[in-house]
């Protein structure tokens, strides 16, 4: 039986996992549990190249049973987990590095549920379920907020009373594991010491200003609903809109949260779908408007983040939409042409790494993110 480091990325309805060598450098297997915790849950396991190794229905399996099935499925392939590493969305001000989970750390993570009410509970439930399966198995938490701990104080503040900031109401930034993975790759494109805007564009979307490999500013703030428009989240919104909903529409906290997290963004604007591929294929004016607004917000945020760095040396697209949608990349770069980006249409359509012409004053690239790989590398260093 070969030992492995198992990276767990839990979402509300999907759990992704990847098995790495104990040093965190080599991918051994990957998989997912779709409809995680649901009555129609299903486990898929593949090798490092994506070739399917096993598929299994997990009818009526709760979270614990589904996670046990993951460990058993890997064991069937000759892989035994040496340790588990989890993506935890919020680490607050306290957790700025990966940490081995013990009773004290696990209890402290409950304090951040209020800061990430839709994401934090899922990660903690998975951690607890694995503890019940095998309490001896080491578990490590890596935090989406940690990469942004290098931001200057001015980038973390809201313009509210000082005591609120001191109590933790501040800008944190998210998608940090994705940005850390991209920061590792900046030397490949000659931007290791540069001022770079990275656009993590997917169902959840954000952008980050990275200077010399460190976070300077980010579009996301107190929560992962802030910043860019996303699949079902609005991004920036005047807080008076929320007060209007409460005062004039009689909406309670749960109603408002549902509107912000589930009914807005691409889905809300289009009335059709939260999937960029479906919107691109649609002829409906509202679908086209949703795509236009998404690209507009990305381009506008990129210029804002360049201002935070007082300069710009390059732009990176990553994540599902950023890596795979030539249309979105092209629209954004054309809106940013005034900054010095000259789009190479052929390269963009062929999904080349470099998206701009050789003569472009500023370069733009598409680089695949690797959140689970970043988690494995961080965990291996800690172990």
Per-residue pLDDT tens digits for 35-88: 776 777 888 889 888 888 888 888 766 778 888 888 888 888 899 999 999 999
Find out whether 202 is annotated in a ligand binding site. yes
Per-residue pLDDT of the chain (383 residues), as tens digits, is 789 999 999 876 788 999 999 999 999 999 988 877 677 788 888 988 888 888 888 876 677 888 888 888 888 889 999 999 999 988 888 899 999 999 999 999 998 888 887 788 889 999 999 999 888 999 999 999 999 999 999 999 999 999 999 988 999 999 999 999 999 999 999 999 999 999 999 999 999 999 999 999 999 999 888 999 999 999 999 999 999 999 999 999 999 999 999 999 999 999 999 999 999 999 999 999 999 999 999 999 999 999 999 999 999 999 999 999 999 999 999 999 999 999 999 999 999 999 999 999 999 999 999 999 999 999 999 88
Dig out the tokens for 291 from the structure. Answer: 């795509």
The verdict on whether residue 203 carries a ligand-binding annotation is yes
Is the overall model pTM greater than 0.85, yes or no?
yes
Annotated binding-site residue? 87: yes
Coil, strand, or helix at residue 118?
coil
Written as six digits, the tokens of 276 are: 């960029």
- The conformational region for residue 213 under phi > 0 = left, psi -120 to 50 = alpha, else beta, is left
Nearest to 225 by CA among 264, 277, 271, 197: 264
| Residue 119 annotated as lining a ligand binding site | no
Query: How would CATH label the architecture of 2-143?
Result: 2-Layer Sandwich (3.30)
The CATH code of domain 191-371 reads 3.30.420.40
277 marked as binding residue: yes
* Closest C-alpha to 84, from 370, 376, 373, 374: 376
Residue 369, both tokens = 């993110």
The answer on whether 371 is annotated among ligand-binding residues is yes
Give phi and psi for 78, each to the nearest 5.
80, 25
Tell me if residue 144 is catalytic: yes
The answer to the question of whether 78 is labelled as a binding residue is no
Q: How far apart, in whole angstroms, are the C-alpha atoms of residue 175 and residue 90?
A: 10
In which residue ranges of the chain is CATH 3.30.420.40 found?
Answer: 2-143, 191-371
324 belongs to an annotated ligand binding site: yes
CA distance 72 to 169: 42
Catalytic annotation, pick one of 128, 134, 144, 313: 144
- Select from 107, 95, 219, 84 the least CA-distant residue to 146: 95
- What sign does the dihedral 120-124-126-127 (CA atoms) show? positive
């Amino acid at each position: 039986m070969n030992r492995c480091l198992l990276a767990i990325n839990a979402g509300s309805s999907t759990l992704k996992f990847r098995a790495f060598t104990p040093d965190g450098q080599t991918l051994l297997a990957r998989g997912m549990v779709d409809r995680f915790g649901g009555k129609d849950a299903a486990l898929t396991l593949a090798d490092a190249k994506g070739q399917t190794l096993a598929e299994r229905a997990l009818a009526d399996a709760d979270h614990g049973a589904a996670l046990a099935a993951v460990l058993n499925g890997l064991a069937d392939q000759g892989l035994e987990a040496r340790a588990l590493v989890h993506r935890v969305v919020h680490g607050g001000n306290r957790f700025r590095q990966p940490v081995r989970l013990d009773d004290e750390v696990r209890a402290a993570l409950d304090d951040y549920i209020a800061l990430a009410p839709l994401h934090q509970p899922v990660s903690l439930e998975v951690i607890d379920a694995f503890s019940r399966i095998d309490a001896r198995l080491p578990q490590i938490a890596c935090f989406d907020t940690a990469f942004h701990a290098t931001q200057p104080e001015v980038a973390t503040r809201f313009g509210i009373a000082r005591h609120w900031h001191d109590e933790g109401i501040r800008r944190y930034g998210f998608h940090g594991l994705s940005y850390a993975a991209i920061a590792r790759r900046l030397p490949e494109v000659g931007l290791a010491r540069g001022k770079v805007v990275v656009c993590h564009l997917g169902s959840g979307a954000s952008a980050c200003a990275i200077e010399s490999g460190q976070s300077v500013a980010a579009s996301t703030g107190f929560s992962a609903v802030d910043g860019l428009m996303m699949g079902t989240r609005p991004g920036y919104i005047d807080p008076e809109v929320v007060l209007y909903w409460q005062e004039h529409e009689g909406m309670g906290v749960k109603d408002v949260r549902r509107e912000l997290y589930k009914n807005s963004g691409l889905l809300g604007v289009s009335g059709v779908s939260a999937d960029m591929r479906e919107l691109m294929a649609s002829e409906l004016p509202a679908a086209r408007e949703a795509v236009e607004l998404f690209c507009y917000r990305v381009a506008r945020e990129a210029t804002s983040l360049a201002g935070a760095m007082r300069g710009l040396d390059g732009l990176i697209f990553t994540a599902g939409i950023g890596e795979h949608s030539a249309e979105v990349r092209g629209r954004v770069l054309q809106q940013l042409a005034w900054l010095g980006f000259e789009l190479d249409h052929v390269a963009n359509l062929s999904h080349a790494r470099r998206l701009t012409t050789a003569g472009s004053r500023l370069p733009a690239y598409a680089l695949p993110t690797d959140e689970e790989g970043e988690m494995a590398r961080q965990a291996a260093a800690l172990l």
